[in-house]
Amino acid sequence: MIIRNLILVLLLLFSSVNASPYVDKKTLKRIAKKYKMFAKKRFYFLQVMLDGVKNGTDMQKLQAVNQFYNEVRYVPDIKVYGKKDYWATPYQFLGKDKGDCEDYVIAKYFALIYLGMSSKKLFFTYVHSTKFKAPHMVLTYFKTPRSEPLILDNNNRKIFPASKRKDLIPIYNFNGDSLYRASKTGAGTGKKLKKQQSHKKWDQLKANIRKRVI
């Protein structure tokens, strides 16, 4: 029994060592240089968390990712970036260890995608918070396209089905990747569409991620 567990641990270790990390070494080095040692550690623990649930169920992944990122402090964009609204890259969000609701959603989304979750199941949902009487954004998970979504929120740290979140009124669902797929397969599209999707913020965010903006 002990030998079997040891082999399992070794296999896990081996697989996690060989899989490409969520944040590449070069970016991590830059993050360490810019945000100092603690930031590097945060990314280390992120990787440990991700490795831990890599082979888990969707629910395990959602729980782990939601819990990990909800530890980050909520600070409005104007205080962090000097802008009223800014969609931070996951590197900036965890590097600074602060951000607003969109930043949580973005970080959770890309972490889940890294864990192999289908982008078709995840939506950025613009909601109205009746509790705070303010616009808000949450990440919604759809097990099937027609099933009730689960809400990953930074205010309410637990994951609840949408029906349990009476404090939130859904306004608009958005999935950048599905828009991209749509425009790519859409009838009569031009060759220049590769660079043009249907959401400005999303486009900018993807560009920043490609450029590894930290």
Partner 1 sequence: MTLFKQIAIILSLFLIIILSTVLVLNFNSANQGVQKRLFEDAKNTASSLSLSLGSANGDISMMSTMINANFDSGNYQFISLTDIDGAVLFRRDGEVQELDVPQWFIKLLDIKAPIASANVSAGWSPIGLLNVQSDVSYAYSQLYSILKNLLISFALLALFGLATLNLLLHTILKPLKEVQRQAEAVARNEFIIQEKIPHTKEFKDVVLGMNTMVRKVKAMFDKGNEELKRQKELEYIDPTTKLRNRKYLIDKLPEYLKIDADSKGGINIMIAFSGVIEANEKIGHREVDKLFSNMATVFKQHSASFKNSIVARMNGTEFSVLLPDCSDEAALQIAQDIRDAVQTIIVELELDTDVTFISLGLYQYNYTQNIGQLLSLSDNALAQAKFSDTNIHLDHAENATEVMGKDAWRGIINKAIERSGFNFLSYKAVNAKTKKDAHNALSISMSVDGQTYYFGQFMAPANQAGLGTDIYRKVLDMIFTQPDMKLKSSTCSLRLPFDFLESPETYEQMSTLFRNHAKKLPFKLIIEMPDKLVSQNSENVKLYKHLLQEHNIELAIFEFIGESTDYQYLQDLHPTYIKAEKDYFLGQSEQGLGALKLITDALGIDLIATGVMDAQTLKELQAKDIHIIQGRATEML
Query: Does the footprint of partner 1 cover residue 25 (CB under 8 A)?
Result: no
Over the Cα atoms of the chain, what is R_g? 18
Q: Which stretch binds partner 1 (CB under 8 A): 30-38, 66-74, 106-114, 185-193?
A: 185-193
- Site for partner 1, residues 26 to 85, rule: CB under 8 A: none
CB contact at 8 A, 124 and 173: yes
Calculate the CA 165 to chain-centre distance: 20
Tokens at 178, concatenated:
């599905």
Which residue, 53 or 162, has its beta carbon nearer to partner 1?
A: 162
CA distances from 144 to 140, 164, 169, 201 (A): 12, 18, 21, 26
Q: One-letter amino acid identity for 57?
A: T
Query: Does the footprint of partner 1 cover residue 95 (CB under 8 A)?
Result: no
Shortest gap between Cβ of 207 and partner 1 (angstroms)?
Answer: 16
Query: Does the footprint of partner 1 cover residue 159 (CB under 8 A)?
Result: no
Which residue, 82 or 145, has its beta carbon nearer to partner 1?
A: 145
Tokens at 77, concatenated:
């964009």
Query: Does the footprint of partner 1 cover residue 89 (CB under 8 A)?
Result: no
Which residue, 27 or 140, has its beta carbon nearer to partner 1?
A: 140
Nearest to 136 by CA among 148, 124, 147: 124
| Residues in touch with partner 1 (CB under 8 A) | 123, 125, 140, 142, 145-146, 148-149, 162, 170-175, 178-179, 182-183, 186-193, 196-199
